[in-house]
Structure 1
């Protein structure tokens, strides 16, 4: 078989285009014109088809040939038995591209919703406590600079609340909870610029705002709130979310190549995460088990939810970046209806 095809030859060392005619015969590629050479057909490489860009034939020494008539080149390649790979053919098909896009999107969504949380949970529960504490280091200092001011509660009042919480016996596996003993914690009080709240940090700090103590107006409700936050520490919930966020950030780094944005965004990431409903339920279960273990009425926990629900009904919303109490009405109903919560 012999087919002549006019085009340009580039030797790979200069930008000069040599005019040649390419022919295929006896299992070899032959060039005639400004350059004459012959190369076995099997040593040639065919570039993938990319939109309207000219398709090239590459010789073993990286010299290339560009045909003037790309359609004629396709015909020649077909005649020699060349077939594009399945991937290349799919890239040229809008249907194949659409299918690939749908499959990729589904995999990303499923990975984000199921694989990522499961992996983060496994990693968080196997992470050394020292590493977890290091992850949370500096977050409280950041909050003190931008959100909080020193507590105005009397020192005696703060000490009384901390001592009462320290006397409570933490629940264990006998109370139907998975995991090890209660985590180490340190209770700190702060005056807040954003209203009532309480939350736990991976550093082991449980932050209780003056406004939250004032809103609850009941030491038992304060204990229930602290028990809930201890449940978040026990479940390493914020650590899980930080790991998830870091993985997403690392994926963005692979795409964008900008490491500075990932590093600079970690403190903000710690403030921008709320817990999932499952995490909230786990923390609620921990708090209920702690109250029951210490003979405290569950009415204290209901009072916490009722107080937060009252804020929402009044249109007073705790900012999302520090909100650890979403779905208050649902959680209150769950506490009241759940069989194990009988007093």
Structure 2
């Protein structure tokens, strides 16, 4: 089979996501490292979510061959398979480049030559995407506003100012965990990629702190991407993340905050690809937030700890007092948690969409 097979497969995986990646040599090389030509030909069929019978009809494959193909692609993280909420039938979907294939290639924490090669290729792909966006900035950036936020910020609860409001159940990360019986933990794919590139995280030494819930957790546990853990273990991971200065980012089914959470990532500015994509200039920060940081000017000592730790660089010092940019603040509470003077607290705004255009380099 020719490169055209991989090009068509690349178009299918891009169409499965919300981020408009280019079909270029780097993406093709990534797919060649994780798929055989036969698998690439099969992935083309998944131009939309399909159940097994629909795939069988479309592919014409015998039962045994079809099952082998589906299992091999799920094991390699190229497609996912979860039970439909309505019918209970297994529904199979192609994974997009990100979030999707990038994560599954890194989240087992493997350190072989293949993973090192993929880490470099993904870094090249992200840089090329940034170059494409920067070269067409004025045309592309306004189009980003039509994209749905992929994440929702779950705040550091203990620093919510109770004078403003009570914390909602979905905004309390511990109560969120209590809603799920099945929880998995995996190696942070972003930090692992940076480790493979000899650029270790500057914020935390923790690596196994990506959490998955419900059907998503079941899939990742079944195919060896994640390990099952208890609710108490998940809470301990979240407590360590808060102490290290990481941001809780929740991912919802179909990017709909009215649906269940699928995962919580604990993110840092130096590794997290959503933060990194913003600072590279390849994508805006688009997220749901429900809080904004507020500074008590009388208590602030001007130590700059909040400005140093803010992942969005939303805090600057004016006359030795911290000032928060409401338009850049994602309400994560990391600044408040780590303020030695307790001069910051989170004020509830109600769910809002934060959109910060990428810097123009």
TM-score, scaled to structure 1: 0.23
Q: Which is higher, the Rg of structure 1 or of structure 2?
A: 1
TM-score, normalised with respect to structure 2: 0.22
**Higher RCO by CA contacts (8 Å cutoff, separation 6 or greater):** 2
More helix by share: 1
